[in-house]
């Protein structure tokens, strides 16, 4: 076993790479181990070549955006990408019975798309929900009904959310809504109906995006870290400890590497299950109770200049298996060859679902048939297609997840040289800007602890708390 640098980062997604970026800036020696052949985690850009075309189609591992919500994170990415980071302003829509409704919802558009009687019923439900006061329960269904009223919640939110998370909304925590359930309120409703021009804007519409795809952020962070510090195809298969300190990590089932201080962005459940000696039975049981949602991406290359003017289209109808569709070219012209475009649909599923277990050809045939029947695609325009599987795409934040998380935190805090970061490492519904800030926070914690314990082994603080919104 070889003694390595002071800081070992497990996982080369945005949070792990950001930790490396800030570590290098502060002169902290580190190394990063990433299981895949490329960095980026679940924020990568993939390519597909259609027969007869020289240039590839590019698409991301999800309809990613980089939001300007944390100024420090924005400055980091702007400094890394320079003019290749472009501000985009493209709206999103919700598909409802063949019509496209503005997203987030606006009263006037709802009136046009649903009809005045339906909107009047929605307004009555909304007023009734507000009179009832805030819900006593913290579940997502109660939160959505209080904010939107029963009619709007059931039409646009609840069925969609159950499809996305695979759990009834009464069992989901309100955190799963994040920014998405903001915007429509009774004041906005009344102002628009009284003829006042609403200042309501679509939340998804304005964001930053790299010209070459979202994966450019991870690639730039990796370049900042230095190629010699980032090792790919290095899957963590075991984490050895003495009950107080992590001592080594095993890579690919064969190689053992000593560690001093560790930042883990691995899925929390995987980290717990990799511990050697094994965690107590009740800890393993708590880890097994936490679930992640997987994502199937089905991409269609299309021989047409453009399909839609939208950033994303959401499908609230529970009879439609996919939740979201996006056209990468609407984020950057470089995402498709000249004269062509593409559509990517997202199908959420569990690891044991029949859909996830299906072979790619069956998934492609089924999705193609559905999109053609819904008139999103025309057979003669399809140049090719592919399926990509994204594991651990979303942590499922159920109401009782907090109980399991508290048990796991109490157990993991005993390891003095461990910090967890990132969406999967924290089991929190965070975004790219959050994860970059988590990387900064991680290095700050390490430095504070190092200064506090000069002259001895520096124990690390409890895991860094990141925003769930």
* Domains defined for the chain, CATH in brackets: 7-35+233-290+398-452 (3.50.50.60), 45-92+292-395 (3.90.660.20), 105-193 (no CATH)
CA distance 61 to 214: 9
Per-residue pLDDT of the chain (469 residues), as tens digits, is 344 468 999 999 999 999 999 999 999 999 999 999 999 999 999 999 999 999 999 999 999 999 999 999 999 999 999 999 999 999 999 998 888 998 877 778 888 888 888 888 888 888 888 888 888 888 999 988 988 889 989 998 899 999 999 999 999 998 776 555 454 454 555 554 444 444 444 445 689 999 999 999 999 999 999 999 999 999 999 999 999 999 999 999 999 999 999 999 999 999 999 999 999 999 999 999 999 999 999 999 999 999 999 999 999 988 899 999 999 999 999 999 999 999 999 999 999 999 999 999 999 999 999 999 999 999 999 999 999 999 999 999 999 899 999 999 999 999 999 999 999 999 998 999 999 999 999 998 888 877 766 544 444 444 444 443 3
* 3-state SS, residue 239: strand
> Which of 26, 66, 25 has its CA nearest to residue 43?
66
Report the C-alpha gap between 155 and 144 in whole angstroms: 11
d(CA 8, CA 33): 8
Note whether 237 and 252 are within 8 A (CB): yes
Q: What one-character DSSP code corresponds to residue 425?
A: H
Q: Are strands 85-89 and 206-210 parallel, antiparallel or unpaired?
A: antiparallel
CA distance 173 to 142: 10
Question: Which residues, 6+ apart, have CB-to-CB distance to 389 below 8 Å?
Answer: 294, 295, 296, 297, 356
């Amino acid at each position: 076993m070889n003694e390595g640098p002071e800081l070992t980062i497990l996982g080369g997604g945005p949070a792990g790479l950001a930790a490396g970026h800030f570590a290098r800036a502060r002169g902290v020696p580190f190394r990063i181990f990433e299981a895949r052949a490329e960095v980026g985690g679940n924020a990568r850009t993939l390519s597909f070549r259609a027969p007869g075309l020289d240039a590839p189609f590019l698409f991301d591992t999800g309809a990613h955006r980089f939001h300007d919500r944390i100024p420090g994170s924005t400055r980091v990415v702007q400094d890394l990408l320079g003019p290749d980071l472009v501000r985009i302003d493209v709206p999103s829509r919700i598909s409802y019975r063949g019509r496209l409704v503005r997203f987030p919802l606006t009263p006037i558009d709802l009136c046009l798309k649903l009809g005045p009687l339906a909107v009047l019923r929605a307004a009555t439900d909304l007023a009734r929900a507000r009179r009832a006061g805030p819900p006593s329960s913290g579940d997502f269904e109660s939160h959505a009904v209080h904010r939107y009223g029963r009619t709007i919640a059931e039409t646009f939110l609840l069925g969609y959310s159950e499809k996305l998370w695979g759990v009834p909304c009464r069992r989901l925590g309100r955190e799963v809504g994040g920014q998405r359930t903001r915007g429509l309120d009774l004041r906005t409703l009344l102002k628009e109906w009284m003829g006042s021009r609403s200042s309501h804007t679509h939340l998804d519409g304005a964001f930053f995006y790299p010209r070459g795809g979202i994966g450019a952020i991870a690639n730039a962070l990796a370049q900042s870290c230095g190629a010699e510090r980032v090792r790919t195809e290095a899957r963590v298969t075991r984490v050895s400890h003495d009950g107080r300190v992590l001592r080594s990590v095993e890579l690919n089932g064969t190689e053992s590497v000593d560690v001093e201080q560790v930042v883990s962005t691995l899925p929390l459940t995987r980290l717990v299950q990799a511990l050697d000696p094994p965690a107590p039975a009740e800890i393993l049981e708590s880890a097994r109770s936490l679930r992640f949602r997987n994502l199937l991406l089905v991409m269609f290359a299309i021989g047409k200049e453009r399909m839609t003017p939208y950033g994303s289209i959401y499908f609230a109808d529970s009879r439609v298996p996919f939740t979201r569709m996006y056209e990468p070219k609407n984020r950057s012209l470089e995402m498709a060859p000249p004269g062509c475009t593409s559509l990517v649909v997202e199908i959420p599923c569990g690891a044991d679902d029949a859909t996830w277990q299906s072979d790619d050809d069956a998934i492609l045939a089924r999705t193609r048939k559905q999109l053609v029947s819904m008139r999103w695609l025309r057979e003669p325009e399809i140049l090719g297609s592919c399926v990509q599987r994204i594991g651990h795409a979303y942590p499922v934040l159920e109401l009782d997840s907090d109980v399991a998380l508290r048990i796991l935190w109490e157990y993991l805090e005993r390891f003095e040289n461990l910090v967890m970061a990132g969406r999967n490492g924290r089991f929190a519904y965070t975004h790219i800007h959050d994860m970059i800030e988590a990387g900064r926070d991680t290095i700050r914690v390490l430095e504070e602890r190092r200064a506090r314990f000069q002259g001895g082994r520096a124990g690390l603080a409890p895991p860094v708390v990141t925003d769930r919104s």
